[in-house]
Chains A and B, each alone.
Chain A
Amino acid sequence: MDGYDQRNDRAEGALNCPDCRQELQDYLDGTLDKKRSLGVFLHLRECAACRVEHDALHAVFMRLDTLPELEAPADFDAAVLASVPYAAYRAMEPLRRERVPVFLEDHFLPAWMRARVTRAGGLIAAAGATGAWLAGPGQAWLLVVAAAGAAPEILLRLQWVGRRLVGVRRAEG
């Protein structure tokens, strides 16, 4: 404890030497709150021994912060890139492709619903039913037929839009 000047804790609330030295690193780091920082500052103004300690530590901080940058060897990147198995990585790309929610996957809908025949037939039925509903007295069952006929195509389109939205959101991060 040589050099500690215990007389400096005479004022109420003022730091004593051990406390000041305890706080020195945080003080130099700038992580002390204002009150503590002011306490250290005032103590350092009064105490020569702690000031010496502060200056020595400050010199270490300065030197550590200004260690010179070292240059990597000139062939550094080439050596790394030559060792990176890009071809194999690219070949496995489909396995790494980011997944979408299961209800947006193609196979979530049954195969018969995804079949072109079903979709085309459904659309024709929907168009016919809608036309009949508009031309006739407005029977409700025609609207049900129209909705059922258009459903496969609408569901597939909604899945496609959903997948695109997920992709856009991921790309934007």
Chain B
Amino acid sequence: MFDRHQDLKTIRRCKRGEEAAFAEILARYRGPIYNLCHRMTRNPEDARDLSQEVFIKVFRLLDRYDEEFAFSSWLFRIATNHCIDHLRRNRMRFLSLEGVTGPDGEEFELQIPHGGPEPDTVLERKEAVQRLEEVIADLPPHYRAITLLRHQQQLSYDEIAEVLQLPLGTVKARIHRARAQIQQMLEARAYDI
């Protein structure tokens, strides 16, 4: 999906100090990174701040980028971790129970079922996309990130494994569990998409 060779050339120009090259990187990845941050936080202001911080962080860390890996993978890794850190810092936003361990020993958050649509958002939730976004936003952060990388960014399992630095089997298992949770939440809330 992303041109690895083209990215590498642009990054090398960035490292030589060409300001226009970093503007090219911004133009290429602004959309994907902003979308990822937006769907991770479901808040436009947070998404803007987080995605801008991601690009500034990437610039500062350019010298540490290992050219053996795709630049897009490195960028998505930084963005995903940045969003997850942000969500952790703002745990109060989530109705979650911490420290629950799944069948594979992996810790995840239990979401308390939603009590039903708020009166002032009934109209909003008529839109199928918004229902789905709501459900995605209620996934534990790791599942949310993996779902967005797979479905929104259309990354392959291998690419996601590279981004998240996880074994392929773990990536597959997490995606499967994330989708199963989405389906369960849709059913539990009687959301028809």
Binding site for B on A (CB under 8 A): 25, 31, 56-57, 59-61, 63-65, 67-73, 76-77, 79-81, 83-84, 86, 89-90, 93, 96, 170-171, 173
Q: How large is the interface on B (under 10, 10 to 19, 20 to 34, 35 or more residues)?
A: 35 or more
Please, which residues of chain A bring their CB within 8 A of the CB of B132?
60, 63-64, 67
Residues of B within 8 A of A69 (CB): 31, 35
Q: What is the bound-complex CA distance between A72 and B35, given in angstroms? A: 8
Contact A57 B183 (CB under 8 A): yes
Set of chain A residues within 8 Å of B5, measured between Cβ atoms: 173
The contact of B9 among A65, A68, A80, A173, by CB within 8 Å, is: A173
Inter-chain contacts of A81 with B (CB < 8 A) = 19, 22-23, 26
What's the Cα separation between A65 and B129 when bound, in Å?
Answer: 11
Q: Does B56 lie within 8 Å of A84, measured CB to CB?
A: yes
What is the CB-to-nearest-CB distance from A170 to chain B, in angstroms, rounded to a whole number? Answer: 8
Chain A residues positioned under 8 Å from B12 (CB to CB): 170-171, 173
Given contacts A69-B31, A72-B51, A96-B63, A25 and B147 within 8 Å (CB-CB): no
A84 with B22: CB separation less than 8 A: yes
Q: Provide the residues of chain A in CB contact with B39, threshold 8 Å.
A: 67, 70
- In the complex, 10 of the A-B residue pairs with CB atoms within 8 angstroms, ordered by the A residue number, are A56-B183, A61-B151, A63-B129, A70-B38, A76-B26, A77-B23, A81-B19, A81-B26, A83-B52, A173-B8
A76-B34 contact given A31-B157, A57-B179, A60-B193, CB 8 Å threshold? yes
For B63, list chain A residues within 8 Å (CB): 96
Known A60-B186, A65-B151, A77-B23: A72·B59 in contact at CB below 8 Å: no
- Residues of chain B within 8 A (CB-CB) of A80 are 26, 52, 55-56
B103 to chain A, nearest CB (A): 14
Shortest distance between the CB of A62 and any CB in chain B (Å): 9
In the complex, given contacts A25-B175, A72-B48, A84-B55, what are 13 additional A-B residue pairs having Cβ atoms less than 8 angstroms apart? A57-B179, A61-B151, A64-B147, A64-B151, A65-B151, A67-B133, A71-B31, A73-B44, A76-B34, A86-B19, A171-B12, A173-B5, A173-B9
Q: Which residues of A contact B128 (CB under 8 A)?
A: 63
Q: Could you mark each residue 144-171 of chain B with 1 if its beta carbon is under 8 Å from any beta carbon of chain A, else 0?
A: 0001001110100100000000000000
